[in-house]
Amino acid sequence: MADALKLLFDGRKLALTRAKLLAWWEGEDFDEAAATSAYEAKRAAANENGDADDQLFEAPQYELTARLTGLAALWGEDRVRPGDGAADKLQVAQIGLAPTGVLAMLGPGLLGPLAAAAAAHPGQVDAFEWREETFDALLYSVRKARLDPRVSVTRIDLEAHVFTPAAYDGLLSIDDFAYCGYPPHLAQQIMKCLKPGACAVVEAYVGLRSADLATAFASSFAEPQIRAHGDLLQFFVDAGLVLEADEDLTEEFLGYARQGFKKLGENLQADTLDVAAARELAWEVEAWRMRLRLLAQRRLERRRFTLRKPTEAPAEQSASEEVSEDTAAARDKRPRRLREDNAMQVLQKVLDEQKQG
């Protein structure tokens, strides 16, 4: 498609047309020879940089919002959370993908983690982003880095998105369960989209609910949905996923966050933030002060779960059968009288056995 467009548009003619319009606007005479010379000089300079053919078709420049600029000052360019590229690559390596495998990545935020995943895995990478404020920046950065079409980016709704069945050889999810309102659905979708035997790595916050969570996540892109460690494990088991590893990353994560705060002083001395970005940065810093305190006190933890989809379906349920969420919900909504009758029957049976004994 791009080659056809390049044949359709002649760069020289476009440059001369712009020059004519500019001369008319300025009330000057159009000098075709001078305009042609200027175009040829510009094209020669572009040829030296190796991007002459793509210059006309590059995506329009994207200007970061004040919020994303503030986040970059704290966590580094192309990041919305603590971390670094080396750790991001290790996450992908832990999945154990074949070079031709297809990787699904949920919630990269910005280009940093996604670019690290693409560098660690030579095959196709499909990114799914739910943050409205980062999606355009992520899409622009992928195109600018020339990662497409090997890397695709799709906007999704965590609460409702339905993945293609058995489409991925591996999956990486970062923070998605911390902001998902109904985790059983997301766990079921991970199970659904993986091929039999495929691995998923899920990194998430866990902890008990408290009033301090509202302050700790006040600057987040969505309302926090932090759940207990055991509850999250149960969601995975109920979906049919097999837990292979459960790692505590709290101290490592705290280290990355503290590094970001140390670099923040250098970035502030550079005095490159405008008023709006500085205001967003102040909100982020204040929220993270509370979040770091909760992590240090172990009232909040950072965990990494390594999960795998079984190669065969359980004996009581064939691979073609899948219990829908609506069916499960309906089962929980049985008439109260019926549930009470069942309970009375069980109680009577126990009493009879005791009498016989």
Total residue length of the chain: 357
Query: Count of CB atoms within 10 A of residue 24's CB?
Result: 11
Same structural domain for residues 81 and 16? no
In a domain, 238, yes or no: yes
Whether residue 146 is contained in a domain is answered as yes
pLDDT in tens, 194-243: 999 999 999 999 999 899 999 999 999 999 999 999 999 999 999 999 99
Split into its structural domains, the chain has a count of: 2
Check whether 37 has a pLDDT greater than 50. Answer: yes
* pLDDT tens sequence across 75-92: 999 999 999 999 999 999
Domain annotation covers residue 204: yes
User: In angstroms, rounded to a whole number, what is the distance separating the alpha carbons of residues 179 and 81?
Assistant: 14
Q: Does the pLDDT at position 248 exceed 70?
A: yes
Cα 84 from Cα 146, distance rounded (Å):
21
Establish if 321 belongs to a structural domain: no
Same domain, 222 and 83: yes
Could you tell me which residue, 263 or 215, shows the higher pLDDT?
215
Query: pLDDT band for position 44 (50/70/90)?
Result: confident
- On average, the pLDDT of the chain sits at 82
Domain-located, residue 344: no
Does one domain contain both 228 and 79? yes
- 151 and 121 in a single domain? The answer is yes
Q: What pLDDT, on the 0 to 100 scale, is given for residue 11?
A: 64
The answer to whether residues 38 and 184 belong to one domain is no
Is residue 243 a contact partner of residue 202, using CB atoms and an 8 Å limit?
no
* 130 and 22 within one domain: no
- Tell me whether residue 318 is in a domain: no
Instruction: Please check whether residues 92 and 195 belong to one and the same domain.
Output: yes
Confirm whether 338 is domain-assigned: no
Q: What is the pLDDT of residue 244?
A: 96
**Averaged over 59-77, what is the pLDDT?**
85
CATH number at residue 219: 3.40.50.150
Residues 281 and 248 reside in one and the same domain:
yes
- The string of pLDDT tens digits covering residues 264-307 is 877 776 656 788 888 899 999 999 999 999 999 999 999 999 99
Q: How confident is the model at residue 263 (pLDDT cuts 50, 70, 90)?
A: confident
Indicate whether 189 pLDDT > 60. yes
User: 131 with 230, same domain?
Assistant: yes
- Which pTM does this prediction carry? 0.72
Q: What is the DSSP string of 79-146?
A: -SSS--HHHHHHHHHHH---TT--EEEE---SHHHHHHHHHH--S-EEEEE--HHHHHHHHHHHHHTT
Owning domain of residue 31: 10-49
Do 40 and 75 fall into the same domain?
no
Is residue 21 located within the same domain as residue 98? no
* Top-confidence range, 19-28, 63-72, 118-127: 118-127
- Residue 325, in any domain of the structure: no
Same domain membership, residue 45 and residue 70: no
Q: What percent of the chain has pLDDT over 90?
A: 61
